[in-house]
Amino acid sequence: MPPEPNSTSSSGVPVGDLRSRLGDNEKSRDRLQGLLDAVVAVGAGLELEGTLNRIVRIAVELVDARYGALGVVGPDEQELLTEFVYVGVDDRRLGVLIENPHPLRETQEVVPTSVLGAPIRVRGELFGNLYLTEKRGGGHFTEDDDIVLKGLAAAAGVAVENARLFEESRLRERFMEASREVNSHLLGGGSSQDALTLIARRAMELSKADCALILLSDGEVPPEEVAIRAAAGEGGAELIGFTVPAGGPPVAGMFEMRGAELIPDLSSLVPSSWRSPGPEFGPAVAVPLRAGNVVSGVLLAVRARGGARFAREYVPLLASFADQAAFALELAEKHRAQRQLDVLADRDRIAGDLHDHVIQRLFATGMSLQGTVRRIGDPGVRRRVSRAVEQLDETVREIRTSIFDLHTTGSDGADSLRRRMLDIVEELSTGAEVPQPSVRISGAVDTLVPDELAAHATAVLREAVSNAIRHSHAGSIVVTVEAGADLIIDVVDDGVGMPSGVARSGLLGVERRAAKCGGMAVVVPGPEGGTRLTWRAPLAKA
């Protein structure tokens, strides 16, 4: 049964209107039926690339043209075509169509052919232009051809919209899968640097970019500069380590929560130092790495110069992926810090047990045996007991070394405060005539003590230990460092006390450092003679 006069096809084509315009003769009915068949064929698939190819191929068959092309316009509808799908178009005709990217309504001679064009619109916005050239058998395209092509273009708009929605859903699914991959990597114990590289690689692949860069802030609030910490794609690895001001391009505004930004030409914004062996930068999209209300960096997806601009539908997906990645990084860092605190607390407990129980018992046993040596009359037995005392002293020194290792192995690096303090004590006591100082460090000094306070603390420790070693003539020196509400450095010796002729310039420096940090420093006699220096500075509350 023929369609009703005012009916509409399932693809939104006004069949009744087309029928009245085409006429009611047999040839017109055949063309209308052909159009309806074409509408069904155009909407048969969901992949966008396949849909575009079907539209061009069916249009060529429907109006009996030799050549056809579909040009997809750019995001702003003003630039030249960003995608071009064609059937049978040679270089000469292709050049003509590219130079005329706007829809053509009237028959136009393009030596020696005619051109017919119609716009394809999706939800009222121009998606692209459909072009046909050179009528088979000669002659020009007719008014009926123009009507049929417009009908096909209307159906093509619906098919394109469906294909774009399908592509968008698939793209969203791939972004979600990438987010799960990043989360699994981090929660599985993977390093943050490997996670950043993975984020850059997946962002590059999913956005169809040529390069992806991750720029992180310097930790200041607001940040002064950002540095490239991870990259993927051609030439990206050579850029790792480069920095730019946080208030300048291409990251200006990212730390003020302005959201993502499409950049037409990145090469015009970045410093000249951003030159890599790869192609020059072209279109880019910048999205903030944001966890809650805190922006820690920027994700840049970049295409080579001359490449197509990023479609706007990529922006919210890329921004969502960046937000989830930033949140996963922040959560993983908190878990890592908590694990480190747990390890440090456990090591501190073990070290305390070794020091308070094992070493003290061995030391007491050694002292008892040493007092017994004088009462032994047999020289051979006396030598054996003396060797046993020496072995006990050596065992104590080995246990103290093990205690140092408990505090410094694992994730502690050479620049950690704990390691620097131990190195200072070892450096000052090497070759000295006094026994090796006993060192006990408790609390998360590497986590709780800021860099500025750490610089004062190491200087104070060096002065205090140096004085004890050089001037006290002590039999033992005990160094205790505690990080809690305050940072406390306590150095106790059992020597001769503070000699009267010693210059107080070093101690005055210790007191000035305490005052500068809002703390205090005192020097008093030790509990068993000698000297006790205590230096205290408050730690900032988290």
**Extents of the domains making up the chain:** 15-166, 169-325, 412-542
Q: DSSP states of 350-411 as a string?
A: HHHHIIIIIIHHHHHHHHHHHHHHTT---HHHHHHHHHHHHHHHHHHHHHHHHHHHHHHSTT
Cα separation of 533 and 471, whole Å?
14
Q: Which two tokens stand for residue 248?
A: 């300048």
Q: What per-residue confidence (pLDDT) applies to 457?
A: 93
Q: Which two tokens stand for residue 147?
A: 């009507």
Q: Which of 122, 75, 129 is nearest to 97 (CA)?
A: 129
Q: At what angle do helices 379-408 and 360-373 cross, to 10 degrees?
A: 160
Q: Which of 339, 233, 332 is nearest to 277 (CA)?
A: 233
Q: Count Cα neighbours of 302 within 13 Å in the Cβ-side half-sphere.
A: 28
Dihedral sign for Cα 5, 6, 9, 14, please: positive
Q: What per-residue confidence (pLDDT) applies to 43?
A: 59
Q: Which two tokens stand for residue 384?
A: 């054996």
For the CA atoms of 193, 312, 120, 164, the dihedral, rounded to the nearest 10 degrees, stands at 50
Reading phi first (left if > 0) and then psi (alpha if -120 to 50, else beta), residue 345 is in: alpha
Q: Which of 20, 24, 22 is nearest to 5 (CA)?
A: 20
Cα separation of 39 and 27, whole Å?
18
**Which of 3.30.450.40, 2.60.120.10, 3.40.1190.20, 3.30.200.20 would CATH assign to domain 169-325?**
3.30.450.40
Dihedral sign for Cα 447, 452, 458, 464, please: negative
Q: What per-residue confidence (pLDDT) applies to 105?
A: 38
Cα Rg, the chain, nearest whole Å = 39
Q: What per-residue confidence (pLDDT) applies to 491?
A: 93
Q: What per-residue confidence (pLDDT) applies to 159?
A: 75
Cα separation of 374 and 73, whole Å?
102
Distances (CA, A) of 144 to 136, 149, 247, 283: 15, 8, 59, 42
**Same fold: 15-166 with 169-325:** yes
Please give the chain's pLDDT, 542 residues, in tens. 444 444 444 444 444 454 455 445 454 455 555 556 656 665 566 676 777 777 778 778 878 888 888 777 765 544 445 566 767 755 445 455 544 544 443 334 433 347 788 888 877 777 778 888 888 877 778 887 888 888 788 877 777 777 777 777 777 888 888 878 887 877 777 777 888 888 888 888 888 889 988 888 876 767 778 888 888 887 777 888 888 887 777 777 777 666 778 888 888 787 776 766 667 888 888 888 887 777 888 888 888 888 878 877 778 888 888 888 888 777 777 777 777 777 777 777 777 777 777 777 887 788 888 778 878 888 888 888 888 888 887 777 677 666 666 655 554 455 678 888 888 888 888 777 777 888 888 777 888 888 889 989 999 999 899 888 887 788 888 899 988 889 999 999 888 877 665 556 678 888 989 999 999 999 988 877 888 999 999 987 54
Assess if CATH 1.10.1060.10 describes domain 412-542.
Answer: no
Q: Span 15-166: which CATH code? A: 3.30.450.40
SS3 520: strand
Q: At what angle do helices 451-471 and 505-516 cross, to 10 degrees?
A: 160
